[in-house]
Structure 1
Amino acid sequence: MAILVTGGLGYIGSHTVVELLNNGFEVVIVDDMSNSEKFVLENIKEITGKSPVLYPFDLKRRDLLAQVLDAHYIEGCINFAAFKAVGESQVKPVDYYENNLFSLINILQEFKERNISNFVFSSSCTVYGQADKMPIDEDTLLKTPESSYGKTKQMGEEILRDFANAHKKKVTLLRYFNPIGAHPSAKIGELPIGIPNNLVPYVMQTAAGIREELHVWGADYPTPDGTAIRDYIYVVDLAKAHVLALKKILNSKEETLVDVYNLGTGKGSSVLEVVHAFEKANNVKVPYKICGRREGDITIAYADVSKVERELGWKSKTTLEEALRTTWEWQKYLETRNEKDC
């Protein structure tokens, strides 16, 4: 029996594949390689000593997905396959709806026809919008997200709820806050294409001299230092939560199950706190410039993680500085790799 991991060579997907392999699962990856590189698969093998199976195609090709499911006894799925750049989603909304939702629907159609249950979905805290109170728990009222990306996550959750209830399936929705860091081996990490959309990759590239300076969008928020606050969660801690969520639904005796969990640290850090923590952790300077606020950015968001601690026994264990140290080691690995390729 194997677990299907869609988008399994991406940032969070690759770390989760490592944790699955380390926990004795067989893994079948489907990834269109639009946000990854071939060396990630080789590095997963180096880290774990095991070889996941890779099928490099687009999940919008349901005929190819059917062939994969014919070839393997799949027990469940962890779905990471999605475009994820918030800004880009505003420029290319139809592309995001097509890619993120059609691929999900294709998997569910195949699971329905083959009577496969056990589905873990990569969702996002964007489904909450600017929450009215902190910390944000799973019962917080969902608001219409500002971005098309966020809307696809909210729609994906609704599709999965209907799927589970109509067809007696087991589903877990994992709402991430802000994943950061890289594997401690420095062999897998985030690979932003073009200009990074997330704070920490931009900090990393600025420290490395790839970017001239970091733009800090807004320093007039009602926060202690005026910059926006988010909950930054170490990617390996995040990956381990997926394994626990998967094990829970695999072992559940219930026919129909829909679980929802926040994955964060339970603590918020401001943009400038992250910058200074990165500088301290790695003994480097990060030049930055204060700019005006970006439209649609929220002021503050951090998770209430009491439910996931209580029901899955999971808790983030890695400090912000420790996570940021792995980010810098990953950057140095990429630089060494690029030098070898030249």
Structure 2
Amino acid sequence: MAPRVLLTGGAGFIGSHTVIILLRAGYAITVVDNLVNSSLKSVERVREIAADEGIEGVDLDVEVVDMCDKAAFEKVFEKYSVGGFSAVIHFAGLKAVGESMALPLMYYENNLINTMNLLSLMEKFDCRRIVFSSSATVYGAATEMPITEETQTGAGITNAYGRTKYMIEGILSDFQKSKEKTEKPWSVTVLRYFNPVGAHPSGKIGEDPSGPPNNLMPYVSQVAVGRREFLSVFGNDYDTPDGTGVRDYIHVMDLAAGHLSAITYMDKKPSVYSVFNLGTGNGYSVLNMVSAMEKASGKEIKYKIVDRRPGDIATCYADAERAKVEMGWEAKLGLDEMCRDLWAWQSANPNGFE
């Protein structure tokens, strides 16, 4: 039997791409998702991609469950109790920065309770390896670049979404420490993502935000495909080469591969709490991204300069050396591939999965 991995939120943007990477590597997959920010169509498309790629013996199950309903979530663990889960990758959570500032209680309740329910069920059903989908937002207002894993976290976080990521990291760290000296220690790997962009090169799956996008590139691609009239660029007076904000963008397929690396890494470490940045180490400005997308799409992308957003910093990019040294992972795809694959997705699916 192939080892089975549970992916919470596995029907979402990063989760669906990670499913493909894990299927290629021979894992069986169970996806748990409440479909608040995702679609079952993404899982259907993943099956198509697996067939196109000639992946044999695909074992991919989906359970539509709200993890905050612990009794319903426990039934998933009971269903797979023979053999059980070899590891969990925890993507599930509400993630819209602006919404989190308007509805903080909803974010704290959902993101923290679903994590605590997950950990207690993992403990009960003897699964002790977890990869957590964290975010560079935990670094808050860090100004010294590049950001390493030793950079201070928690200070200057400007939204409830980022604070839930920071708090969950603390919960995982305390929990892992409490098990270190026991007969059943835990392995916990925290992956701090920088800015995921792109899509599977087939164009069959990609980012499909409900409502206005929270991130730059879905907005850019929606302008390119004609869904939006123009892009709002928040500030052009930063201390950067062209005055617009600089960020570390990473191809979602590279990011997905980081989760497989994390599982392989934990195979050798039965008791560990590790944190890794997943980024490219390169910064691109907003206008760099606009021109790269114009090149990929052959379309003019209109934009307007508007006021800076409160809390935005000029420049943010990762030092991802630790992931390379310890996990053997590094980003391989560049800006051209990010925009090429994003355009393949957006042009074939102008309205997302709908």
Length-normalised TM-score, structure 1: 0.96
Render the CA deviation track for 1:55-102: whole Å, top value 9, x for unaligned: 011100111221111111111100000111111100010010011111
Residue of structure 1 aligned with 2:60, choices 52, 69, 82: 52
Structure 2 unaligned segments of length 5 or more: list them.
Answer: 52-57, 180-184
1:322 aligned onto 2:337: yes
Residue of structure 2 aligned with 1:66, choices 64, 74, 87: 74
Per the alignment, in what secondary structure is the counterpart of residue 229 of structure 2?
coil
Render the CA deviation track for 1:142-176: whole Å, top value 9, x for unaligned: 13311100000000100000111112211000000
- 1:130 positional shift: 2.3
Per the alignment, in what secondary structure is the counterpart of residue 152 of structure 1?
helix
| 1:275-314 alignment, distance < 5 Å | 275-314=290-329
More displaced stretch, 209-218 vs 127-136: 127-136
Residue of structure 2 aligned with 1:139, choices 140, 150, 159: 150
More displaced stretch, 128-137 vs 16-25: 128-137
Q: Aligned letter for 2:343?
A: W
Per the alignment, in what secondary structure is the counterpart of residue 5 of structure 1?
strand
Large movers: runs of 4+ above 4 Å: none
Aligned match of 1:82: 93
| 1:45-194 alignment, distance < 5 Å | 45-49=47-51, 50-72=58-80, 73-144=84-155, 145-167=157-179, 168-194=185-211
Per the alignment, in what secondary structure is the counterpart of residue 276 of structure 2?
strand
Counterpart contact for 2:176–2:186, Cα < 8 Å: yes
Residue of structure 2 aligned with 1:227, choices 235, 241, 244: 244
Q: Percent identity?
A: 45
Per the alignment, in what secondary structure is the counterpart of residue 282 of structure 2?
coil
- 1:337 positional shift: 8.0
Residue of structure 1 aligned with 2:11, choices 9, 12, 20: 9
1:31 aligned onto 2:33: yes
Counterpart contact for 2:194–2:278, Cα < 8 Å: yes
| 1:236-251 alignment, distance < 5 Å | 236-251=253-268
Per the alignment, in what secondary structure is the counterpart of residue 349 of structure 2?
helix
Aligned match of 2:55: none
Q: Aligned letter for 2:32?
A: V
Measured at CA, do residues 227 and 320 of structure 1 come closer, stay the same or move farther in structure 2, by a change above 3 Å? same
Supply the distance in 2 between the matched residues of 1:198 and 1:299 (Cα, whole angstroms): 16
Length-normalised TM-score, structure 2: 0.93
Measured at CA, do residues 337 and 83 of structure 1 come closer, stay the same or move farther in structure 2, by a change above 3 Å? closer
Counterpart contact for 1:118–1:250, Cα < 8 Å: no
Per the alignment, in what secondary structure is the counterpart of residue 24 of structure 1?
coil
Counterpart contact for 2:244–2:287, Cα < 8 Å: yes
- 1:284 positional shift: 1.2
Render the CA deviation track for 1:111-151: whole Å, top value 9, x for unaligned: 12223211000000001112131111000111331110000
Per the alignment, in what secondary structure is the counterpart of residue 53 of structure 1?
strand
Measured at CA, do residues 296 and 132 of structure 1 come closer, stay the same or move farther in structure 2, by a change above 3 Å? closer
Supply the distance in 1 between the matched residues of 2:124 and 2:39 (Cα, whole angstroms): 32
- 1:333 positional shift: 1.6
Counterpart contact for 1:130–1:299, Cα < 8 Å: no
- 1:193 positional shift: 0.6
Supply the distance in 2 between the matched residues of 1:9 and 1:333 (Cα, whole angstroms): 19
Per the alignment, in what secondary structure is the counterpart of residue 316 of structure 2?
coil
Counterpart contact for 2:346–2:352, Cα < 8 Å: no
Supply the distance in 2 between the matched residues of 1:251 and 1:44 (Cα, whole angstroms): 29
Per the alignment, in what secondary structure is the counterpart of residue 74 of structure 1?
coil
Counterpart contact for 1:130–1:301, Cα < 8 Å: no
Counterpart contact for 1:45–1:51, Cα < 8 Å: no
Supply the distance in 2 between the matched residues of 1:88 and 1:149 (Cα, whole angstroms): 9
Counterpart contact for 1:129–1:298, Cα < 8 Å: no
Aligned pair count? 337
Measured at CA, do residues 297 and 51 of structure 1 come closer, stay the same or move farther in structure 2, by a change above 3 Å? same
